[in-house]
Amino acid sequence: MAEETKKKGSFVKQAAILAFAGLLVRFLGFVYRVPLTNMIGDEGNGIYSAGYYIYTFLLILSSAGLPAAISKMVSERIATKEYRNAHRVFQSAMVVSGGMGLLFAIILFVFGQEIANFANTPESYYCILTLAPTLFIVAIMSVFRGYFQGMNTMVPTAISQIIEQIFNAFFSVYLAYLFLSVGVAAGEKNIQMGAAGGTAGTGVGALAGLLVVLFSYSLIRKDILKRKSRCKQKFEESHIDVAKILIHIAVPIIAGTAVFSITNLVDMNMVIVLLEKGGYTHTEAVSLYGQLSGKYVTLTTLPVAISTALATAVLPSLASSMKKKERSQVRRKIKLTYRISMIISMPAAVGIGVLGTQIIEMLFPYASDGGMLLTVGAASILFLALCQTATGILQGTGHIQIPVIGAILGAITKIVLNYILIPIPELNVLGAILATTGCYLVASAFDVTMVSRVTGVPFAWLRSFFLPLLGASAMGIGAYGIYHGLYYASQNNTIATLVAIVIAMGIYGVVMLLIGGIRKEDISVLPKSDLIIGILQKCHLL
C-alpha cells in the first residue's frame, strides 16, 4: 500500500508541476493579451486569432500530436528497461517532426496570402508570415518535451513553457506597439501590422523555449548515453520501425486534436460569413469574432490548463502501469485524474459564469464588450476539461482511436449548431458560443462513456461531479452576493471583482471539505501534505 501511495503521489506531483506551469503560462497570456487587446481592439483580436488558428492547425498536423506519442513510447520502453530503444524513439521522432515542421513552415510562408483569402480573413496575411518560422521551431521543441515527459520528468517542459510565455508576452506587446505605427500617419493605427507584431512575439517565445529544452537535454545527455550503453535489452528496434510505430500512434492523436482545430477554422469562417449575411459589415463581423476568440477563448482556457496537465501527465503514467499490468494502479489513476479535473473545473465554470461581465470590464477597460459571452459559455469549461481528461486516459490505456470519434461527433455538432444559431439576430456570435458548448458536451459524453466501457472503471458521479457541483454552487452564490455588496459600497469594479473571487475560492474549499468532496487521501499526495492536513484538522475541517 505504501508503494501504491508513493506511485500515486509521484503521478500527482508530475501533474502538479505541469498544472502550475500551465496556470502560470495562462496567467502570463492574460497579462500580455490585456494591453494587446487594449491596443489593437476587437478588430485586431479577430485578425490576430485568424492567423493564429491557421498556424495552430498546421502545427497540429506537423507536430502537436507527437509529444503524447513520444512520451507513451518512451515510458513503455523505460518500464521494461529498453533504454536504447527509448532513445531511438527520440532520434526517429526528431527526423519525423523536424521534417514535417519545415515542410509546413514553407507552405505557410509561400501560400500565406492564398490561405488568408480562403479563410475569409485576408487581413491576417502578415500574421501568417510572422508565424511561419515558428512551426519549425515548435516541431523540434515538441520532441524534447515528449522525451522528457516519457522519462516521467515534467520539469524541463514546465520551465520551457514558462520561459517561452515570458518572452512571448514581452515581445508580443512590444512588437505590436512598434508595428502599429508602420505605414500610417502619426496618431493613426495600422491594426493589421499591430496584430502581426503580436504573432511575431509567439516565434520569439518559441525560440526561447527551444533553447531551454536544449540546455536541459545537454545536462542529462551523458547520463542518457551511459545508461544506453549499459543496456542489455534483447531486441533492438530499427529507426524505420520506430518511426512507423510513432506515426501509427501519433496519427489518431493528431486527427482527434485536428478535428477541434478545424472547428476553430470553420468557426472563424462561418461566424464572419454568417454575420455578414445577417447585415453586419466585414469590420463589425471581424470585431465580433475578435470578442469570441480574443476574450471568450482566452479566458475560458485558463482553468482548462489543469485538465491539460492532467491528461499530459496521466498518459505516460497509465501507459507504464498498463505495460506492467498494474490493474489497481490503473483504476486509482483514472479515478484520481477525473476527480482532480472536476474539483478544479467545476468552480472555474461557475465563477466565470457568475462574474463574466465584471471580469471582462476589469481586464479590458478600453475594449469591454463581450462579457455576455463568458456568462453564456462558461459551461464549456467543464465539458472541455472532461473531454481532455478522458482523452488522456484513453490514450494512456492504448485506445488512441476512440477520442478521434468523439472529436468528430463534437465537430459535426458544432457545425450544425453554428448554421442554426448564429443567423438568429438575438444571438449572433452567442450562437457560436452555444455551439461550442454543445460540441464539447457531445465529445466529453462519448469519451467518458467509452472510458468506462473499455477500462471497466465507471465515472464516480458523486465524488467527481455532484459534490464539486454542490461546492461550486455555494461558491457562486457567495461570489454574486459579495461582488454586489462590495460594488455598492466602493463603486469600484476591479476591487469588488478581485475580493469576490478570493473569498469565493475560500468558500469553495471550506464547503468541499465539509461535504467530503475533498478528503484526507486526496491531500496526502500533495507536497507538504502533513502540514496541510495538520492545519485543516486543527480547524476541524478534516
Q: Tell me: the pLDDT tens digits for 200-245?
A: 999 999 999 999 999 999 988 888 888 877 777 677 788 888 888 8
CB-based contacts of 535: which residues, under 8 Å, 6+ apart? none
CA dist 172 to 57, 207, 286, 317, Å? Answer: 20, 13, 21, 35
pTM, two decimal places: 0.74
- Residue 496 CA to residue 104 CA, distance in Å, equals 47
pLDDT exceeds 80 at position 323: no
Position 5: which residue type?
A: T
pLDDT exceeds 70 at position 86: yes
**For the ranges 12-16, 72-76, 414-418, 463-467, which has the lowest average pLDDT?**
12-16
Closest CA to 388 of 396, 435, 129: 396
- Residue 419 CA to residue 214 CA, distance in Å, equals 46
Greater pLDDT, 279 or 209? 209
Closest CA to 307 of 420, 367, 187, 392: 392
Quote the pLDDT of residue 245. 86
Closest CA to 260 of 409, 40, 430: 409
Digit-coded pLDDT (tens) for 411-456: 899 999 999 999 888 888 899 999 999 999 999 999 999 999 988 8
What band does 263 get if pLDDT is binned at 50, 70 and 90? Answer: confident
Q: For 35-70, b where at least 16 C-beta lie within 10 A, e where not — what string?
A: bbbebbbbbbbbbbbbbbbbbbbbbbbbbbbbbbbb
pLDDT exceeds 80 at position 158: yes
Quote the pLDDT of residue 522. 65
**For the ranges 44-48, 113-117, 190-194, 257-261, which has the lowest average pLDDT?**
257-261
Greater pLDDT, 68 or 220? 220
What band does 329 get if pLDDT is binned at 50, 70 and 90? Answer: confident
Share of the chain above pLDDT 90, in %: 35
Task: Work out the average pLDDT over 55-60.
Answer: 86
